A and B are shown apart, each in its own frame.
Chain A
Amino acid sequence: MNILVCISKAPDTTSKIAFTNGDTQFDENGVQYIVNPYDEWYALVRALELKEAQGGNVTIITVGTPADDAVIRKALAIGADDAVRIDTPATDAYFTAMQIAEFAKGKGFDLILTGKETIDYNGSQVAGMLAEALELPFISVAAKLDVEGATVKAEREIVGGAQEVEVQMPVVISCAKGMAEQRIPNMRGIMAARTKPLNVVAPVALDALTTYSSYSMPAAKSSVKLIDPNNLDELVALLHNEAKVI
């Protein structure tokens, strides 16, 4: 089984979020980048489990600059066989997805996995875009994934519940919690990652469809109003008269 796992860098969850250049750019000063958790914990680890059980190859791919190689090496240390970096800054989701689609076309990947979203832009866009560009079926936000022969058996989230579905490979799947458990790379994996192939591929020329023109921070919360635990009528009155939510 030939599996392609799309990974993205993302700022560590505890990073301070700030903007620079007149609030038009994310301030990367002091930000530690990690592999986007949905891509790593669920998509990549499940791909490795499937490969270990059934044989095959796991390739990771990202769209980015040489600065992203550290994040790629981390994903290789967890166990991917080889890596591809499309050598251009990832602008919007469309640009990113079309670069990956261009690379993946005709390479015979049976499964193309992504995380359900990145924790920075939260768009949940790249997987669906890839599926359309490659004319493949798409299972969005899957929490379980198994493969029997050429059939994918997955469980996907639906509003208020879950659904077991089947589809024939090849297929694009975005992966969510439940699919696998995080793996911590060991020393052997980290050493091996240094010599695994990282193929740098030139991008194709195309324009982004969207641009982030600026950013803003939410208004600071006023400090919490403490209520006497013996006077819940006061809380209900405040929720009605002041907050107007009941």
Chain B
Amino acid sequence: MNLVYINSANGLSKAALETVTYAKKLGADVAVVTNGGADASVLASLGNYGASVVYQDSSLDGQDPSQLVKLVAAAAQKVSATTIIFSHDLIGKAVAPRLSVRLKAGLVAGAVALPEANGNVKVNVFSGKAFGFVQVNSATRIISLLPNSIQPEANSVSCLVEAFDSQAGASAITVKATKKPEGAIPLPEAERVVSAGRGLKGPENWGVVEDLATALGAATACSRPVADIGWRPHHEHVGQTGVAIRPNLYIAAGISGAIQHLAGVNGSKVIVVINTDAEAPFFKAADYGIVGDAFEVLPRFTEAVKRFKAAQH
């Protein structure tokens, strides 16, 4: 059986559906193990993506990776898992390496595709500038899947939800405060992202960025200098030292496209660059480019998107 770990404490994320889809596409039956107190009906809906059973330990809040590793290891033993899938998100990065040591199972971190015919798994290396193909030498393998690498796909099977006691012990980590804006699309999961840089000249000008993002149903992001000066929150910073993202559509306004920025966005399927400087290096990495002033282009872009959406209805 293939086992998937998901965090369902805040409902089912798109990343969770991607990992279940991925596990189902590997061929065997899929079991899911999760922490948190989500409703059984919510968890049973994972059957729509191919999960046959969900083991839920509602006593764990998911804050301590050393508890989660015990949860996943106990479930792996119960279903004799041969492949264990995580999302390569902040929880996957904390738990999957621990599980690798605990089970002595090779970890492929940051997979971008299903395994090749020879079993090797493709990952991003050199900050997205190349791909590597990883061979796992152990009988059990662990794969963490980079968000937005595959799309969730319906594959209905009947799905049981069972309570599961992982006996993970007490949490060693005490959470004092959580800072998280409500309702925003988490950047690593967003399919469309509108991003802006110093070319916007000040935080008070972000309205044109937000308007386009709203029209497109996109998340907003920013370049490093913008986060460093405090115009935008740090979690919006994409690039080498910030978040690495791979949306279907990345729109960058007023960002020159330094190599460190590109390292965080070069996995995007389509890149649109808006810049007054026709020589900006970002145009070399772009699919579509507009040489123009973001303050004029962004509102026109928003209007064009609205016209397009109105015509669709």
**Which A residues fall within an 8 A CB radius of B?**
11, 13-14, 17, 19, 37-38, 92-94, 97-98, 119-129, 131-133, 137-141, 143, 153, 156-168, 176-178, 207-218, 221-222, 224-230, 232-233, 235-240, 243, 245-246
Contacts and interface: CB of A to CB of B under 8 A. Distances in A.
Given A143-B234, A159-B90, A177-B241, A227 B289 contact: yes
Contacts of B181: 160-161
Contacts, number: 269
Nearest to A160: B186
B288 A140 contact: no
B90 A140 contact: yes
B240 A232 contact: no
Contacts of A138: 65-66, 94, 98
B242 A177 contact: yes
Contact of B136 (A93, A132, A209, A215): A209
B113 to A, nearest CB: 12
Contacts of A208: 137
B97 A93 contact: yes
Interface residues of B, number: 97
Contacts of B137: 207-211
Nearest to A124: B93
A209 B90 CA distance: 23
A242 B135 CA distance: 36
Contact of A224 (B13, B101, B131, B273): B273
Interface in B177-233: 177-181, 184, 186-189, 191-192, 216
Contacts of B248: 245
Contacts of A119: 126-127, 240, 263
B307 A233 contact: yes
20 contacts: A19-B130, A37-B241, A38-B241, A123-B107, A128-B96, A128-B97, A138-B66, A160-B186, A163-B177, A207-B137, A209-B136, A213-B120, A217-B130, A224-B283, A225-B287, A226-B289, A232-B301, A232-B303, A233-B307, A235-B290
Contacts of B304: 232-233, 235-236
Contacts of A162: 178-180, 234-235
B105 interface: yes
B26 interface: no
Q: Among A123, A167, A218, A237, which residue has the most Cβ atoms of chain B within 10 A?
A: A123
B30 interface: no
A93 B287 CA distance: 35
A230 B293 CA distance: 11
Contact of B134 (A213, A230, A238): A213
